[in-house]
Amino acid sequence: MNHCRISLKPIKTHSKYPHYLDYEFRKLFQSLKVNPVLSFTRKDFFRQSPIKSKGMSISGVQQKLSLKISSDNEFEITSTEGEYILKPSPETFPHASENEHCAMLTSRILGIKTADCGLVSFSDGELAYITKRFDLKGENKIHQEDLVQGFEMRSEDKYAYSYEKSGKLINAMTNGKASVVFDFLSRVVHAYIIGNDDMHLKNISLQKLPENTGLYYDGMTPNYDCLFTNAFNTVSGSDFLALDLLEDEKHGIFSKAYEKYGFYTGHDFKVLGDRLGLREKPVTTLINNIRKKEPLLIDLIHCSLMPADMKKKAGLMVSERIKTLGF
């Protein structure tokens, strides 16, 4: 069955474009008139990327381009007023676009606010990941700050601090908003279950809405840069998470559960929640709800556009990690 390249829901009825549900397409691109096939090739992308991406953040080997919709409803490369960000799969990580798209949708299934995204194709047919910018609200720019900035550290030190220390900074930057800290904890658990071991400090950001003129941030940005990193053949899969979960771990001190099993369990995330000032009951409910959603997550992976071997690795990772949450 054909599945939508935005939501991965089955396409059972006629739609304008064979690979998209009309209502999902309109939601992401604001119109059914937009051409989902890019007017340039992958080779054109890499020729333009160093020029047009000036000033944009390039994370690792994933190059990005800013796009806007032209007056004739084509995606157009731009260095200003971009509405979307395009990321093709790097040569060293084939099918990263399909991987990231599915991983982002697993975040949404867990109830996490997630950046709007989908897949479009180059003129040569290869798929590329596209996401709508979330730092704009009408004509106003939404102020954002990642935790590298929050800690006032260098970008190259983005793996230096633990999630515990990060959560405490988020608590301080939002003036003690427990709901935001809980949101952060949910994202850490999500990263763990999908095998995303690249949720570093630059991939955790807070935002301040235009009407907020105060010192504190309103909450977290939509979730972004999610990947089943352990599903790539080029990744060793030796790390559970990008950062230490608890601050003690940098001194070689782990929880009793970790010492017993050799991996993180639901107990470890409850300890993290406790250290961040969260009540145990909501954290327990979060973990139980994630465990109940395993069938939905596995089904989504099967419906994704990842190749079969990548689907298998991603599915096994999710099942194994969710099982550990019950320990």
**pLDDT tens, residue order, the chain (327 aa):** 899 999 999 999 899 999 999 999 999 999 999 999 999 888 888 776 654 444 433 345 578 899 999 999 999 999 888 999 999 998 889 999 999 999 999 999 999 999 999 999 999 999 999 999 999 887 788 999 999 999 999 999 999 999 999 999 999 999 999 999 999 999 999 999 999 999 999 999 999 999 999 999 999 999 999 999 999 987 665 679 999 999 999 999 999 999 999 999 999 999 999 999 999 999 999 999 999 999 999 999 999 999 999 999 999 999 999 999 999
On whether both 109 and 165 belong to a single domain, the answer is no
Boundary of a domain, candidates 89, 117, 132: 132
Domain presence at residue 319? yes
Four-CA torsion 116, 294, 319, 12, nearest 10 degrees: -60
- φ, ψ dihedrals at 220, nearest 5°: -85, 150
On whether both 194 and 267 belong to a single domain, the answer is yes
Four-CA torsion 169, 286, 114, 43, nearest 10 degrees: 90
Displacement of CA 44 from its chain's centroid (Å): 26
Domain presence at residue 11? no
Q: Are 242 and 199 in contact (CB under 8 A)?
A: yes
Domain presence at residue 9? no
The confidence score (pLDDT) of residue 56 equals 39
Nearest to 180 by CA among 150, 141, 159: 150
Cα-Cα-Cα-Cα dihedral sign, residues 29, 35, 36, 39? negative
On whether both 98 and 214 belong to a single domain, the answer is no
On whether both 195 and 307 belong to a single domain, the answer is yes
On whether both 69 and 54 belong to a single domain, the answer is yes
Buried b (16+ CB within 10 A) or exposed e, 249-270: beeeebbebbeeeeebbbbbbb
Please give the tally of structural domains in the chain.
2
The confidence score (pLDDT) of residue 50 equals 56
- Could you tell me the CA-to-CA distances from 39 to 42, 113, 212, 275, 325 in Å, in that order? 10, 31, 39, 51, 46
In this structure, what DSSP letter does residue 295 have? Answer: H
**Structure token pair of residue 223:** 């979730």
Boundary of a domain, candidates 105, 132, 159: 132
Other Cβ atoms within 10 Å of 124 Cβ, number: 12
Which residue is associated with the tokens 């327990």? Answer: 284
| Strand-pair partners of 207 | 144, 219
Domain presence at residue 14? no
The confidence score (pLDDT) of residue 238 equals 60
On whether both 114 and 141 belong to a single domain, the answer is no
| Strand-pair partners of 128 | 88, 120
On whether both 53 and 110 belong to a single domain, the answer is yes
CA–CA distance, 174 with 166 (Å, rounded to integer)? 12
**Structure token pair of residue 251:** 């001194």
CA–CA distance, 251 with 245 (Å, rounded to integer)? 12
On whether both 285 and 143 belong to a single domain, the answer is yes
Domain presence at residue 17? no
- φ, ψ dihedrals at 77, nearest 5°: -70, 135
Q: Is 238 exposed, middle or buried (0-12, 13-18, 19+ CB in 10 A)?
A: exposed
- Could you tell me the CA-to-CA distances from 166 to 148, 161, 211, 238 in Å, in that order? 10, 7, 26, 22
The confidence score (pLDDT) of residue 237 equals 58
Return all residues near 17 (Cβ < 8 A) that are at least 6 apart. Answer: 25, 36
On whether both 156 and 41 belong to a single domain, the answer is no
On whether both 103 and 240 belong to a single domain, the answer is no
The confidence score (pLDDT) of residue 1 equals 80
CATH no. for residue 213?
1.10.1070.20
Q: At what angle do helices 178-194 and 266-275 cross, to 10 degrees?
A: 160
Expressed as residue numbers, the domain containing 219 is 137-325
On whether both 145 and 283 belong to a single domain, the answer is yes
On whether both 292 and 184 belong to a single domain, the answer is yes
Q: Are 234 and 177 in contact (CB under 8 A)?
A: no
Displacement of CA 189 from its chain's centroid (Å): 13
